[in-house]
Amino acid sequence: MFPESLFLTCCTQVLSAQSWSGTPPCSTAREGAQTSLHCALAEGLEPLSGKYFSDCKRTWVSPRARNNKTAERLWNVSCELLGIRWE
């Protein structure tokens, strides 16, 4: 079963359209970690659980990126690649 609650509690840093064309979204690892740290540590973000963030701000993504089936497949493939099994 797809662990939806776990997925939804994660804030996701979405790569910008620019990054898909090969340009790195961040210039350093430190800068790249800022949005994840913001989502993990900032207070008051609970109502935004499961939403997308970029540059420490809420952002919107295309309908394709919000497709539940695609998200589930990404989750499955990620777990498979990492050797993680969920009961």
Ligand X SMILES: *[C@@H]1O[C@H](CO)[C@@H](O)[C@H](O)[C@H]1NC(C)=O
For ligand X, the binding residues (CB under 6 A) are: 4, 68-69, 72-73, 76
Q: How far is the CB of 53 from ligand X (least distance, A)?
A: 17
- Closer CB to ligand X, 58 or 66, in the complex: 66
Q: How far is the CB of 23 from ligand X (least distance, A)?
A: 30
Distance CA 78, CA 7 (A): 12
* Alpha helices (H) along 1-87: 4-9, 17-20, 29-41, 68-82
58 — phi, psi (to 5°)?
-60, 140
- Closer CB to ligand X, 59 or 72, in the complex: 72
- Closer CB to ligand X, 1 or 29, in the complex: 1
Q: How far is the CB of 18 from ligand X (least distance, A)?
A: 27
Token digits for 78?
A: 């990620």
Query: Under DSSP, is residue 43 helix (H, G, I), strand (E, B) or coil?
Result: coil
